[in-house]
Amino acid sequence: MAEQTITRSLQPAIDPPDMPQEKEQSGDRPGSPNTVAIPGHSSELLPRLPENVKVEKLSLDGLPAELQIEIFKQVQHPADLVNVCLVSKKLHQNCLPALYRDITIDITDRDASRHTAMMLARENDGPNYVRALNLIYRSVESRTDDDKNDDNLLYALEVAMYVLGGIPKDKLRSFSWDSTTLLSTKLFFLLFKKQSNLKHIELSPVLHEPSLRLVDEFLKYPSHAKAVRNITSINIVPECTDCLDLAQAVLSRAINPINRFGLSIANIDAVVAPAAINPTGQVGDIVFSSIFKHRSNPTFAPMMLSSLYLEKVDLSYCKSTWCTAMSFGKLKTLQLRECIRPDLLLDALLFPLHGVAAELKHFNFFHSEALGERLIIPAIDRFLGSFTGLMTLQLRVVNDGTLPTIATLARHAETLETLYLSTWIYMGKYKSWAEADQLARLFKDMKNLKELAMPFHQLPLALDPWGTYNFRTIALPAIADHLPSLVTLNPLNWPKCQTAALGLPLKTYKASMRNIATVIFQDIQDHLPEGTESKLKLVVFGEDDSFEKYTSHLAGLVEASRNDLRRMMFLKVQGKEHYDDLDDNVVAVKIREEQVKRLGLPCETLACDFKYMMPGPNVMD
């Protein structure tokens, strides 16, 4: 067989069918030192380059500036971009659009304010490239710290004003306020005054005097209406009827179709009932009728949504309200959190009248049912069984006691990349699959699954071969056999420690979890054929801080230390488990969540707080 090598720069320059004639004329023959073989074409040869011709190797620094900027936009971790900035002035300048494009600032931290001031320094060109700004403020949860909270809030709002004031005019495309604390009126209207090219806006509750109506203040200045005319994405977090009227004023002045819509009424005033008698005298949803008051306008057209997020929204009348203002035929992302009667909306999405959600890729659902209600899982089965192609499925259902059918989940097996199934019953107990054939049928065809978070039946503190159900001999082989792309495995339930007389210290319990993670890494690797490397890199135990820790499941753990139990993450590394080991073995090492992100590992399930998903890069362009 001819040698399979070629200079890359020569490959597109020669037309292979013309080569035989050219070789006859030139006298070159197969095997001649003046020829080289084309990969995949053993009978067709190319002339070698003369020795005095140099082929220039391309480097990042030699690429055009426009191409460098596009490459840097694909980098996921800001720390990598910072390192690139230190290489040269040219790379620093071309890296700024990607580095400053999406900025998140925790204004709670006073030490971070100094870095913020440096970022907005006059000699720094970075603020010219800021397109998305997310401000975070976390208040101290303590009754004794009320004065400190007030001081911190005033300081944080001053920092926020400084940050927003330092961004050049009309540069922002997205703004959000991530806090349970009310936004100040000055900050809110400063945003409208300076930024008129917004594409995404979050209408958070605004602190204002009762005599001041926000909607009147908004309509007072033409620049405010100009600021929202280009929005295509909006997340509304109202607290009173004034907030609802402001949302309606913003929506009615948007000249472009809204394709991303979010609404959370978790903090709405008690006087605004989720369902009440609307002004027309008909039973309906007063929240909906306030936000979409302008739908009576003849020019109103239903929103062609690509993303929908609803939290605590009453969907009892959704067929005659929400479904008349929205079309779901192009829906890609659907998030429903603690809504009233969400099953009615899922059933409505099955009918062509409202646009069948056949293009859905991401489904995020969180609901706490009343005991014995049993409405949600059947509705989810009907909905998921009506289409295929989901990439992300995150379900958290409390108090239902049932699981989605395996046949329904199997319809999306080939495309799923993230699967999060939390069926929490009560007192920290989960419903889970226990048989090997059930797990095999569930995981079958999930060749692309990268993240798996689910409870496992009776996960023991010690992975020994005893007991009626054995996680090590039933669950792990099913994972190894059917999930070749799995990178992150998250057993949502804590390893069982229920002997009350044990009195196990938290430190010992954490060490046992590290041993379990090491066994998981080793067993899955050993189960694979020789020469096949397992892609599993991360094992996580636990769900989140809201998990019920005072349960018989953890009765053997020292009671005083249960509050300190947090979700634990272990990374797979090669090393010596004991000092006298002769060879490196697979070892689990405890890491933090921010380290997971820096390593570039899939961690969407770890951030599964069922909150509003921020818009993607296309909104900020």
- In this structure, the answer to whether residues 524 and 602 fall within a common structural domain is yes
With cut-offs at 50, 70 and 90, classify the pLDDT of residue 456: confident
- In this structure, the answer to whether residues 552 and 482 fall within a common structural domain is yes
This prediction has a pTM of 0.81
b/e string for 38-63 if b means 16 or more Cβ within 10 A? beeeeebbbbeeeeeeeeeeeeeeee
The reply to whether 488 falls in a domain is yes
CA dihedral 280, 285, 287, 292 (to 10 degrees): -60
Q: Picking from 60-64, 118-122, 494-498, 500-504, which range would have the lowest pLDDT averaged per residue?
A: 500-504
> Alpha-carbon distance 139 to 377, whole Å?
37
Domain limits at 81?
Answer: 68-99
The per-residue DSSP string of 77-115 comes to -HHHHHHHHTT-HHHHHHHHHHHSSEEEEETT-SHHHHH
The residue out of 78, 99, 120 marking a domain boundary is: 99
Mean pLDDT in the chain? 78
The reply to whether 573 falls in a domain is yes
The reply to whether 454 falls in a domain is yes
Report pLDDT digits (tens) over 72-111: 988 877 788 888 888 888 898 999 999 888 888 888 777 7
The reply to whether 298 falls in a domain is no
Could you give the number of structural domains in the chain? 3
Q: What is the mean pLDDT of residues 540-557?
A: 69
- In this structure, the answer to whether residues 526 and 490 fall within a common structural domain is yes
Q: What is the mean pLDDT of residues 124-143?
A: 77
The residue out of 56, 80, 99 marking a domain boundary is: 99
Highest mean pLDDT among 61-70, 103-112, 273-282: 61-70
The reply to whether 574 falls in a domain is yes
Amino acid at 559: E
- In this structure, the answer to whether residues 94 and 25 fall within a common structural domain is no
- In this structure, the answer to whether residues 29 and 95 fall within a common structural domain is no
The reply to whether 534 falls in a domain is yes
The answer, yes or no, to whether residue 425 has pLDDT greater than 80, is no
The reply to whether 89 falls in a domain is yes
- In this structure, the answer to whether residues 473 and 503 fall within a common structural domain is yes
- In this structure, the answer to whether residues 43 and 73 fall within a common structural domain is no
Output the pLDDT for position 372.
53
Output the pLDDT for position 464.
57
The reply to whether 296 falls in a domain is no
- In this structure, the answer to whether residues 73 and 43 fall within a common structural domain is no
- In this structure, the answer to whether residues 539 and 462 fall within a common structural domain is yes
Higher-confidence residue of 429 and 19: namely 429
Strands (E), 224-361: 233-236, 260-264, 276-277, 283-284, 303-304, 307-311, 326-327, 333-337
- In this structure, the answer to whether residues 27 and 93 fall within a common structural domain is no
